[in-house]
């Protein structure tokens, strides 16, 4: 009788471990802070400029490219970048705090001079509930 109970408990334990392997992310996501992720955008604008050629000033159009993010995503030159953390039994969405260098504003968005790349995803609204390396639930 003891062997049957021990065998049954062992079977239940391994069944729960197996189910946890497949459903860990769904269950874990229920208890994580939810954040909206947005992509860092590359903007291209034409800027008028004057060029001197052989002592003569000529009006030209120059192309300026820069990266922008929503103003609500930046606080004290820092943003939260989203990504994935791999663990032995799966992966999680995580945010990392990153320093950036800003270069003013453009059409309600903040220009990024350094610290981010085009296509990276950041948290749309910087909040005090987040911390570096925190597991989150990302909504795109």
24-28, 65-69, 108-112, 129-133: least confident range: 24-28
Give the C-alpha distances (Å, rounded to integers) separating 27 from 19, 20, 31, 32, 33: 11, 9, 8, 10, 13
pLDDT of residue 18: 82
Provide mean pLDDT across the span 86-93.
81
How far, rounded to the nearest angstrom, does the alpha carbon of residue 129 sit from its chain's CA centroid? Answer: 15
pLDDT of residue 35: 94
Helix (H) or strand (E) holding 45: strand 41-53
Determine what percent of the chain is predicted with pLDDT higher than 70. 97
20 or 84, greater pLDDT: 84
pLDDT in tens, 32-89: 899 999 999 999 988 888 888 888 888 888 898 999 999 999 999 999 999 999 887 7
pLDDT of residue 73: 95
> Is pLDDT at 131 greater than 90 in this prediction?
yes
> Is pLDDT at 22 greater than 90 in this prediction?
no
CATH 1.10.10.1100 fits 24-139, yes or no: no
Q: Cβ contacts of residue 87 below 8 Å, gap of 6+?
A: none
């Amino acid at each position: 009788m003891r062997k049957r109970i021990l065998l049954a408990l062992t079977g239940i334990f391994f069944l729960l471990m197996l189910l946890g392997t497949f459903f860990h992310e769904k269950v874990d996501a229920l208890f994580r802070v939810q954040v909206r992720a947005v992509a860092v955008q590359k903007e291209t604008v034409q800027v008028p400029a004057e060029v001197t050629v052989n002592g003569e000033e000529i009006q030209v159009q120059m192309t300026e490219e820069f990266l922008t993010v929503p103003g609500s995503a930046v606080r004290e030159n820092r943003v939260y970048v989203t990504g994935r953390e791999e663990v032995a039994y799966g992966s999680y969405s995580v945010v990392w705090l990153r320093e950036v260098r800003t270069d003013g504003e453009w059409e309600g968005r903040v220009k990024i001079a350094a610290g981010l790349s085009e296509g990276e995803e950041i948290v749309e609204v910087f909040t005090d509930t987040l911390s570096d390396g925190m597991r989150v639930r990302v909504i795109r």
